[in-house]
Structure 1
């Protein structure tokens, strides 16, 4: 949403358990609002909503610097260790209605681990969930975040080499969202350092949509 002095963007985090959703959300907010740690079971069991303070140095309009406010909705992963798919979808729908119903959603951030292959069955499940949550225009309002890219670098792959070797399933997904994707490491200090860069890329994606929102 736009006003004279600042911009507010509404973001939804989606992804499988241990993909790095909550860590990414904390980086975007500049906080530790979301519980994020290694666990043998799913850490996030309910939706959590966070708001950032005003962030400067990200975007300008008509030559003037604007303040950015970021609203992030973190969600339980799928597949979940204690919730069914139906329970996850209903939990997210309820939270979207509560937090973004009036202002709409600017972008869903689909978080995938770059160090794990994206299988067709998982991708089909993901797309079905996005369609249920966002409707038929989900592709316009979704960006892919590939996390744990430090593991990719350790394996000797550049981003270009990684994409060249990626599965058709992943490449098709990236194409379907108009190549709105970002590579990010999952280390807290690296995410913090690259916060401005990540937010600028997100703003670029939102500008491509002319600041439109998808209704919930």
Structure 2
């Protein structure tokens, strides 16, 4: 998708469902109804994974209807929870699990908001002001533009899940005095002690 095309999941500026599209660089997915997206993400873990995540599933099983539901499937595709055929991916299955949800949400952010992560690889930890500045720089939209707020809120919806992911602490390498002795080390040491105890004539 070129920079002049509307981002995945983009709605018309008025949200009225008209065919008019904003020309926004960056290919950043967004919805003007983040509460609807939040509700969908809340229901995914407690709903059976469908063979195809289509509008029937969205409306009948997840209970999301109307114009605010329109960007949901494109957003889930952009973030990698669905493939381009709207089939749930492995990332979707991971998001369904308690243990994998945070990691899946972070990967979804990186998939859907690649331009943001190119500028800040720790965007999921960025404060609102810093993240908003990045969105403004990518889209070229003024800070007060509604689309900037829509993109930020969409990002924040996934970020709320990823924020529970604990940072991995680098494992320190123990010094020679702290390293546990392995069996091989002990055998080498025992052999050295035995050789040292031999009479000098036998050495």
Q: Relative CO higher for 1 or 2, CA cutoff 8 Å, sep ≥ 6?
A: 1
Larger Cα Rg: Structure 1 or Structure 2? 2
Same-fold status (TM-score > 0.5): no
TM (norm. structure 1) is 0.25
TM (norm. structure 2) is 0.26
Structure with bigger helix share is 2
